[in-house]
Amino acid sequence: MSDHLVEMRLISKSFGAVVALRQVSFALDAGEVVGLVGDNAAGKSTLMKILSGAYTPDSGEILLDGHPCHFDSPMAARAAGIEMVYQDFALVPELSVTQNIFLGRELLHRGLRSRFLDKRTMSERATHLIERLGLRVPPGDTPVRAISGGQQQAVAIARATAFDARLVIMDEPTANLSAAAIGKVREAIGNLKSHGVAVVIISHRIEDILETADRAVVLKRGQVVGERRVADTGSDEILHMIVAGQDPRRAANNGPSKSA
């Protein structure tokens, strides 16, 4: 049994000869914010793409509320309340802010003989979602190509939270953003948490993790090499684990650890 919102057990994944993940276990509680850190190619995106249904694992299992589940597509994970904000936002530049937020999940009026788009409700809900996150974006009918990177990130996050998400995964949400926009993204994570939504944030900026996360999990070459409560660590120790690929506290107690 599992009391966690989500538990990934002994997940492995290879791409041809490249072993991206080796028996990785990872758990997350409701409303918890976890920072997933590690060098390039450590396996962070792959692990989260498995959780959000974009990839299927070669082995291992995923439990949601303690029940085994198989996400064979992002739609399946979404239906279970798990959403991922991709590194490149995955927005459609020609479509408006509101259209992007509801893309593929448009709200419809149910008429007597036909259905048609409920544009007004979508527009109102888009505004509400963005405000709830503490973000600011130009009017909903503005095409996404006309807004800044920070505003595009806000739209991508609003999109991920539009349908009662229980877990929002953000892959490098502050990359290429201005300092002000980075602050807004961090604030939005705090707002999600206060609404009981769990967040996984993958970031190269240790400050993102220290400011937003409850816990940091360190991956190296497809394995979990360390884990800390953020209140109980600092950037030096996290950086050390990322670079050395081992937990200094464990190494000090038991000699060099070959992680299981």
Pick one of Mg ion, ligand ADP, none as the site partner of residue 10 (Cβ within 5 to 8 A by kind): none
Please name the helix (run of DSSP H) or strand (run of DSSP E) that holds residue 226, with its range, or none. Answer: strand 223-229
Interacting positions 11-40 with ligand ADP (CB under 6 A) = 15, 18, 20, 38, 40
First vs last C-alpha separation in the chain:
22
The type of residue at 221 is R
Minimum distance of ligand ADP from residue 60's CB (angstroms): 15
Using an 8 Å Cβ cutoff, are 96 and 143 in contact?
A: yes
Which token pair is 187? 């604030």
Residue with tokens 């660590």: 233
Residue 166 and residue 69: Cα distance in Å, rounded? 15
Residue 11 and residue 148: Cα distance in Å, rounded? 37
Pick one of Mg ion, ligand ADP, none as the site partner of residue 150 (Cβ within 5 to 8 A by kind): none
Residue with tokens 């919102």: 5
Q: Considering only the stretches 42-50, 120-128, 135-143, 146-154, report the one whose residues sit in contact with Mg ion under the rule CB under 5 A.
A: 42-50
Minimum distance of ligand ADP from residue 48's CB (angstroms): 8
Which of 45, 100, 153, 203 contacts Mg ion by CB under 5 A? 45
Pick one of ligand ADP, Mg ion, none as the site partner of residue 205 (Cβ within 5 to 8 A by kind): none
Q: Which is nearer to Mg ion, 77 or 130 (CB)?
A: 77
For binding to ligand ADP (CB under 6 A), which residues are involved?
Answer: 15, 18, 20, 38, 40-46
